[in-house]
Amino acid sequence: MNTPCQAVVPLAATVRKVDSTATGALGLFHIRLSLITQTPPCNVSQSTEEYSDNRSRAKPIPPVFMHHTIFDTPLVNTLLRALSIGFLKLAGWKIEGQLPANGQKCVLIAAPHTSNWDLPYTLMVAFVLRLNVYWMGKDQLFQFPFRHTMMWLGGIPVRRETSNNLVAASVEAMKAAVGPLQLIVPPEGTRNKTRYWKTGFYYIALGAQVPIVMAYMDYERKLSGLGPVFHPTGDIEADMLAIKAFYAPFKGKNAEQFHTD
């Protein structure tokens, strides 16, 4: 198993780590780059006492009001939910699960992520389950004239070349967010073939103290929905093994591109 450098850093310092999976969260939460500090090397640690002292002196972050999306637009969301239910039923898909009571703020793992078709199916499943999701996409998807439309669909523009300390930014923003916020993060970080999962979703949930809800989409069985709730313990190696074990049976649209080993 590929062990990320964050695993050997004290828990108090982990929320400062960088992970490309969280790219784009900065644009969503409207946090200025000037508020984000430079990431320390992996062999630099910070004691719990120092971290707590720094946090106590930090200025409180004002409430963050999320931009409106298609999921909270009256009438439109009702109509699209009915259409989504109808389409998925005709296509033979079965939707399972529901958002837990403590999941109004959570990180949703989106896996397997192997195709561009994952986006429209994910949006339809979100309508069926009455979710209020935000998702991350490459900045190219948000170019004129589609930017406002993609953001209305819940999109977060991702600029990978400037993705510094967005895990920490996402943590603070999730804490400050007003109202429901289900942040979808694909653990692979890309729909291309990869054997190694990114850990941004894990550290966002850990730092923000929100649960991880394991969402899935199985194209082979035409099965999608919300699986169990996972509360990160801080033991990333053990936790990632447990999460990957849950996803092992699921097949993406391009199944050969998804690995949990």
* pLDDT tens-digit map of 131-180: 999 886 777 888 889 999 999 988 877 665 655 567 877 787 788 888 88
pLDDT at position 72 over 70: yes
Residue 172, in any domain of the structure: yes
- Number of structural domains (the chain) is 1
User: CATH number, domain at 206?
Assistant: 3.40.1130
pTM of the model as a whole: 0.69
Token couple for 238: 């053990």
Look at residue 26 and tell me if it is in a domain: yes
Angle of the 200-208 helix axis to the 236-247 helix axis, nearest 10? 120
Confirm whether 261 is domain-assigned.
no
Domain coverage including residue 251: 15-32+64-256
**Tokens linked to 140:** 């190219």
**Per-residue pLDDT tens digits for 217-255:** 999 999 999 999 999 999 999 999 999 999 999 998 886
Residue 242 lies in a domain: yes
Residue 21 lies in a domain: yes
Cα–Cα distance for residue pair 165/197, rounded to 1 Å = 18
Is residue 40, in this structure, part of any structural domain at all? no
Instruction: Report CA-CA distances (Å) from 135 to 10, 131, 206.
Output: 29, 12, 19
Q: How many CA atoms lie within 13 A of 23 on its CB side?
A: 18
Contacts of 23 (CB under 8 A, 6+ apart): 136, 158, 159, 160, 163, 166
> For 127, how many CA atoms within 13 A lie in the half-sphere containing its CB?
24
Q: Using CA atoms, how far apart are residues 170 and 176, in angstroms rounded to an integer? A: 10
Beta strands in the chain (DSSP E): 64-65, 94-96, 105-111, 133-138, 155-158, 177-178, 181-185, 212-218, 223-230
Tell me, yes or no, whether 84 lies in a domain.
Answer: yes
**pLDDT, average across residues 42-46:** 38
Give the number of other CB atoms < 10 A from CB of residue 108. Answer: 26
Residue 120 falls inside a structural domain: yes
